Every structure is written in C-alpha cells, then in structure tokens.
Amino acid sequence: MNGPLLMGIIFLVTMAIGVPIPFAAGLAAIAGVYIIDMPMTLLAQSAYTAFESFPLVTIPLFVLAGQLMERGGMSNHLINISKSLVGSFRGGMGMVTVVACMFFAALSGSGPATTAAIGSITIPGMIKEGYKPRFAGAIAAAGGALGSMIPPSNLLIIYALSSDQSIPRLFLAGIVPGIFLTLLLLLVTFVLSVKYKFGGSDSAFSLGLLLRALWAGKWAIGAPIVILGGIYSGLFTPTEAAAVAVFYGLFVGLFIYKELSWKGMYESLKFTAVVIGTVLFILGSSKAFGQMVTLYDIPEQISTIFAIFESRTWMVLLVIGIIYIIAGMWIETVPQVIIFTAVFFPYVQALGIDPILFGVFTVMTCEVGFLTPPIGVNLFVASRISNTTIEDVSVGVIPFLLPYIGIIILMAFYGGWVTFLPDLFYGTQL
C-alpha cells in the first residue's frame, strides 16, 4: 500500500465529512506510521515535543496581549488614532493593519503571532467600520505573514541552521523583499477597498483631531514604542517582548485607562486558551505528519524532476516555488522549511544559486502556506478572531496571494535586489 497516497486520502475524506482539521491530520498520520512500521508511541511523543520550542510561546502571549489591550481600552485609542490619520481614505483601516503588521513583524519572528497580535486589535475595528469579516480577516492573515519575512524571523533562522548560512545576513536580505511585499499588500488592500467601498466614511482629515487622538492615546502608542525600543536597545529579546507586551497591556488597562476588570482579564485568558487550543493544537499531529514526509522520502522523489531543467536556474527556482506552494497547503510551515531545505539545498547550491537568496526565496514561498487551506495557521488565527469560517477567510485571502506570487517570480529571474543589502553591509560572501 502506498503510504503517502493513503495518508492523503484519509486526510481529505475525514476533513470533508467534518472531522476537525488537527484530528484529520492525526488520523492520516496513524495510517502513515502503520504502513512504515514504526511504534505508534511516535504520535504520543510528538503530541508533546511539538510544543517544546521557546519561541512558540510568543503566539499565545501576543494573542493575550491583544485581548488585554482590547478589553483595557488601548485598542480603541489605537483605532481612533489610525481613524483620524487615514479614516478619510478608502481602506484606511485595512492599510493601517498592513503597516502595523510590517512594524510588528520587525519585532516578532512568527507569522501567526503577527496575525494574532495585530488582528486581535484591528479586525474588530475593521468589522465595526463595515468591512466584510472575511476581508478583514484576510488582510490580517496576509499582513501577518510579513512576520516571517521581515527580521527577526523564525523561518529564516530554521533555514540558516539547516543550511549553515549566516543568520544576520539572511535577516538583512529579508528587509527589502519584506518592505516591497508590504507595499504590494497595501496596493491590493486599497484597490479592493475602493471596489467594495470599505471604509472612508469618516469626515475629512483634520490635524486638530489627529493631535487630540494622539494625546488621548499616548499610552496606547507607548506599547509599540516600549516593545520596539526594548528589543532594539537590547533591553530584552523578542520572545521576552511578548511577555512585556502582556504586562504593559495589563498595566495600562488596570491603572491608566482603568477599563480592565477581573472579568475582562479572565475572559482574555479564556479567549487565548481557545485560540491556541484550536490553532496551535494542530502542531501536535502535524509534526508526526512531517516526519512521515521525511521517512517516505517525498522531497527526494520530487527532486528527481529537477534533472529535466538542467542548469536553467530560474526554471528550477520556479519549479521549487510551485512545489513549495503546493506542499505548503498540506504541511505546517516550520516542518516544511526543515524537511525540504535539507533535501533541496544541495541541488540548489550545486547550481550556483546564492544560498542567501534561496533562503529568502524559501521563506517567501513557504510563507504562502500560512495562507492556504487546509493547513494554514494564519488563516486559522484570522478566522478565530473575525469569527468566520476557514472557507470564508480562505476565499478572502486569494487576492492577497498575488503580491507573494509576483515577488516569487521576480526573485526567480533576478535575485540581486535581495542579496545586495547583506553584501553591502558585510561584503560579498567569503
């Protein structure tokens, strides 16, 4: 019996009849483990070890911080400020979301954490302004994926450790594509908002109103300043910043705006638990799933098709891009980067493709996996917060995939624009 085929069928069929996605992945993993003749305790072990990663704790922490800020009154102030800044424009709040994701991405290494942190604040705001919930969720999901491109980035670190490349170089190389991606996401948000008439109903821009909103919201603006400043001055690490955000939200909500009650704190914790209990929960089964992909040599088998393209590097990169996007639908993003880098990297290196470029390319293509069903963690987070179905957010996110695909194609044909920054800063690689 063909293991991967059976796994695929079980996963799809059980999911279609309504088995929740993490459990469908688990059932498929059982079949895979059975056929390859491994002890089933593998599943019990991955159910625990999948979570033994310290940077992962940023996700619940930022969800919690977002909740505390919302219930403690900070989010309202942030929304008021952005309204008085861009409220008169079509798609203003949507664009604020994208820009906020970009800034947040410069703090957080994780795509889902970025969606959680910014989305928890702006999705409710956008829905209040009349944006379609699926669209509001999609903006936060797509913007959140910036979290893995703009440094720091967990995915770039994983790539670096799998391929023995320099983390600082990769981080520098992520900056330009990250900003470019932000601009393209802004463009898509604007065009769609004009088309569907989202936002822009507020009165015209007024400097006085903006200044008043800024003053009233000074403690709210303090949050990004404390977090950003803290990381860049070396006061604390990005992981610790997540906890600082929680306590800053708590402090301002309790003592400054005084809108946070015991009940509000409890509800924030409860909401966070449901988000991670349904979203992060999938890591437990997808880890075993990923191990099966390795043991069945799936990347190895796929890589045989590279021979067809011989030395045409742009074609090889495009094919890898397509493979990564398809694989990213089914495999969780972190194991995907580990598993495929291990197998594809030597081929790519032999072709003379710049390893730093390939790292950025890998992260950009695998990141699309955050945004594609059935296993797309950013989609899960966004659907939770916007209270819509996964199907709905998945449809909403489609136009936002275009910027990703555009950049991927551009990188395949010419990578100099990605590598010039690290080369400028550190000199060309020895």
Partner 1 sequence: WAKPLTINVGYTGALGSPYDLLATKFAELANEYSNGEVNVKVRCCAQLATEDEAFKAMQLGTVDMYVITDVNVGPHFPLFDIMGLPYVFQSREHVKKVLDGPVGEKLAQDLYDATGVMLLTYGGVGYRDFYNTKRPINTMADLEGIKIRVPKNKAMIATWQAFGAAPIPLAWADTPPALQTGTVDGGDNGTSFIKAQKFYEIAPYLSILEHFAYITPLFASDRILSKMDDAQREAVMRAAKEAGEHHVKEMERELGELRSFLANEGGMEVTYPDKAEFIKVAQQVQDDFSADRSEEFKKLLQDIRDAAK
Partner 2 sequence: MFGKIIRLLDKYFEEVLCAICLATMSSTIMFQVVLRYVFGDAHAWVEEISIIGMIGGVYFGAALAVRNKDHLRIVFVLKSLPKFIRTPTIILADLLWLGFIVFLLVQSIEFMKILFTTHYILPGLGIENRWPYLIIPIALVLMIIRMVQVYVRWITKKDKELI
Binding site for partner 1 (CB under 8 A): 38-39, 41-42, 45, 49, 52, 54-55, 109, 151-152, 154, 157, 160-169, 171, 231-239, 291, 294-295, 297, 338-339, 341-342, 345-346, 426, 430
- Does the footprint of Na ion cover residue 105 (CB under 5 A)? yes
* Residue 2's binding partner out of partner 2, partner 1, Na ion, none, with CB under 5 to 8 Å set by partner kind: none
Q: Which long-range contacts (CB under 8 A, 24 or more apart) does 308-316 make?
A: 311/351, 313/351, 313/352, 313/353, 314/412, 314/413, 316/347, 316/348, 316/351, 316/353
Torsions phi, psi of 203, nearest 5?
-70, 170
Show the DSSP H helices in 145-198 as ranges.
154-163, 167-196
By beta-carbon distance, which residue lies closest to Na ion?
Answer: 376
Complex with Na ion: residue 47 or 157, whichever CB lies closer: 157
Least Å from the CB of residue 333 to partner 1: 15
Complex with Na ion: residue 199 or 230, whichever CB lies closer: 230
Q: Is 183 exposed, middle or buried (0-12, 13-18, 19+ CB in 10 A)?
A: exposed
Show the DSSP H helices in 87-166 as ranges.
92-105, 111-128, 133-144, 154-163
Residues that bind partner 2 (CB under 8 A): 14-23, 26-27, 30, 40-41, 43-45, 47-48, 51-54, 56-57, 60-61, 64, 235-236, 239-240, 242-244, 246-247, 266, 269-270, 272-282, 284, 373-374, 380, 383-384, 389-391
Distance between CA atoms of residues 43 and 263, nearest Å? 37
Least Å from the CB of residue 281 to partner 1: 19
* Residue 17's binding partner out of Na ion, partner 2, partner 1, none, with CB under 5 to 8 Å set by partner kind: partner 2
Torsions phi, psi of 398, nearest 5?
-50, -50
Least Å from the CB of residue 295 to partner 1: 7
Residues 364, 407 contacting (CB under 8 angstroms): yes
**Residue among 178, 117, 112, 169 at smallest CA distance from 146:** 178
CA angle (246 as vertex; 272, 387 as ends), nearest 5: 30
Q: Which listed residue (150, 227, 252, 356) binds Na ion by CB under 5 A? A: 150
Least Å from the CB of residue 425 to partner 2: 29
* Residue 84's binding partner out of partner 1, Na ion, partner 2, none, with CB under 5 to 8 Å set by partner kind: none
* Residue 147's binding partner out of Na ion, partner 1, partner 2, none, with CB under 5 to 8 Å set by partner kind: Na ion
Least Å from the CB of residue 277 to partner 2: 2
Two tokens at 304? Answer: 């045989």
* Residue 276's binding partner out of partner 2, Na ion, partner 1, none, with CB under 5 to 8 Å set by partner kind: partner 2
Complex with partner 1: residue 22 or 151, whichever CB lies closer: 151
* Residue 78's binding partner out of partner 2, partner 1, Na ion, none, with CB under 5 to 8 Å set by partner kind: none
Site for Na ion in 351-370 (CB under 5 A): 369
Residues 204, 75 contacting (CB under 8 angstroms): no
- Print the binding letters for residues 80-99 with Na ion: x by CB under 5 A, - otherwise: --------------------
For residue 227, is it left (φ>0), alpha (ψ between -120 and 50) or beta?
Answer: alpha
Return the sign of the alpha-carbon dihedral for residues 221, 227, 228, 233.
positive
Residues that bind Na ion (CB under 5 A): 105, 147, 150, 153, 328-329, 369, 372, 375-376
